[in-house]
Amino acid sequence: MKNLVEHLSQYAAYHRDPRNIASHFIGIPMIVVAVTVLLSRPGFSTGGLWLSPALPAALASVWFYLRLDLRLGALMTGLLALCLWAGAALAVQTTMAWLSAGLGLFVLGWVIQFVGHHYEGRKPAFVDDLSGLIVGPLFVVAEIAFLLGLCQGLKHEIEARAGEVRRREVVRLRG
């Protein structure tokens, strides 16, 4: 199994344009929530816990993230718990509300992703390696951590392999 740096470096190689990364901050969370919502039916409540296909999918994802890194995995666990909560809340609504929310978030999230990859000039990572579908959410969390000044050692390891995020030049008008 690849380690954290290998997974994130491989994914990061497809995401060096800041506009593409920014689009992922919006699109990937929308897609993760959408998949959780769509997998939240059929389901039933037992002891205050909503049991649906979303739960084992989330648990498998949590296991993957925790094996890679305990800190980021714990954060991903909390975020997926929020997604499960949202999925359960929508699953008990009318079929139209549940399906509209799930499909709407899914389609809009992917549109945003593909706009970002237009700026990148490169196809999404999952086209070459399906593991990109599970690494993507972790990439977003890691990138947010980097922006907050956290996990700088991890950032440097990734950039040593994938290159730095391209800086956009600002054109200054002289008046």
Predicted model pTM: 0.88
- pLDDT, tens digit only, all 175 positions of the chain: 889 999 999 988 888 888 888 999 999 999 999 999 999 999 888 888 889 999 999 999 999 999 999 999 999 999 999 999 999 999 999 999 999 999 999 999 999 998 988 877 777 777 776 777 899 999 999 999 999 999 999 999 999 998 888 776 544 566 5
pLDDT on residue 76: 96
| DSSP sequence for 77-102 | HHHHHHHHHHHHHHHTS-HHHHHHHH
Segment (H or E) for 34: helix 18-38
11-43 burial string, b = 16+ CB within 10 Å, else e? bbebbbbeebbebbebbbbbbbbbbbbbbbbeb
- Which one-letter DSSP state was computed for residue 9? H
Cβ atoms of residues 41 and 52 within 8 Å: yes
Whether the bond into 124 is cis, omega within 30 of 0: no
| DSSP sequence for 99-162 | HHHHHHHHHHHHHHHHHHHHHHTS--GGGT-TTHHHHHHHHHHHHHHHHTT--HHHHHHHHHHH
The pLDDT tens digits of the residues spanning 143-158 come to 999 999 999 999 999 9
Q: How far apart are the first and last CA of the chain?
A: 57
